[in-house]
Amino acid sequence: MNIFIDSDLDDTARRATIYDGSIFVYSPCPSALKLCNLAREMTEKTFYPHDPRRLTEHLPAEHCAEMLATLKPKFIHDPRAKKCIQGILAELGCDLEKTYFDVPRLRTAFPGEYLKSGIAYAFHPHRDTWYSAPLCQVNWWMPVYPVSSDNCMAFHLGYWQKAVKNGSRNYNYAKWNEESRHTAAQHVKSDTRVQPKPEESIELDPQLRLICKVGGLFLFSAAHLHSTVPNISPETRYSIDFRTVHLDDVWARSGAANLDSACTGTTMRDYLQGKDLSHIPEEAIAPYDNTVAP
């Protein structure tokens, strides 16, 4: 497992290396900076006249949750955001005809216990593959405002090759979309929605907390165990993440090893082609409907 900084590996070699557990870090690129600027513009407009990073000093958590429930879907569905993702993929050497992405999501991590549920869910240690993500999924993450080790995300490296007893057997992506996703803003003090979680104690250390500039990017496997760092800073962390799959890997059923994921369904109907925003062919998705494992 290695960390690559501004690597010049081509996308094929990069994906193979990511499936082996390595993490890639890139300096800000033009389209990523545009996406972060769009997120900041929309966020600052939503919470004006308050500094979005200091909302805990001005707004009740319930009011903040209501405003986020409007802001986050608005950002997700803004066509400018998709254009930025297409630009990022091109600038980082992806084949737009074979690379498919899901919509970018604006995430928040508030200080202390202010708002950690629902629309601002603070993610426990998890693998995205517990949530019906394919084993060939690559996660892309970037900060919208400057971050520090006090409010970023953490990778729990001891579990890359170690299985974790977890509740993914109870998770089905289609059922989640139908029953749980739309209720996120209702969960302010606690989150009662059923989500895959570890069912054994997790050793959080050794952990890796990477810091990059605004518009910088982390690329890592959906099979990495990672979590939201408890925010002990005075500022809210805003970040953007999206995911990609490569059509060749989808067809080949390649990707990271499946150590412990037992969920059903698949997220792949959410992905859009980097070139024309078309969906992955249904015949390529069908084998993933019942399980995420090859």
Q: Token match 């903040």: residue?
A: 64
Question: What pLDDT is stored for residue 282 in this prediction?
Answer: 94
- Tokens matching residue 126: 């998890």
Question: What pLDDT is stored for residue 130 in this prediction?
Answer: 95
- Can you state the angle between helices 30-47 and 79-91, rounded to 10 degrees? 150
pLDDT above 90 covers a percentage of the chain that reads 80
Q: With a cut of 50, which residues of the chain have pLDDT below it?
A: 180-181, 183-188, 190-191, 292-294
Distances in Å between the alpha carbon of 282 and those of 98, 218, 266?
15, 29, 12
- Can you state the angle between helices 61-76 and 30-47, rounded to 10 degrees? 140
- Tokens matching residue 47: 């919470």
φ, ψ (nearest 5 deg) of residue 121: -55, 125
Number of Cβ within a 10 Å radius of residue 228 = 22
Domain residue spans of the chain: 3-288
Question: What pLDDT is stored for residue 293 in this prediction?
Answer: 43
Tens of pLDDT, residues 98-154 = 999 999 999 999 998 877 665 655 568 999 999 999 999 999 999 999 999 999 999
* Fold observed for domain 3-288: Jelly Rolls (2.60.120)
* Chain centroid, CA 177 distance in Å: 16
Question: What pLDDT is stored for residue 23 in this prediction?
Answer: 98
Residue at 177: amino acid letter = N
Number of Cβ within a 10 Å radius of residue 179 = 12
Distances in Å between the alpha carbon of 159 and those of 54, 127, 138, 286?
34, 10, 18, 29
Q: Give the global pTM.
A: 0.91
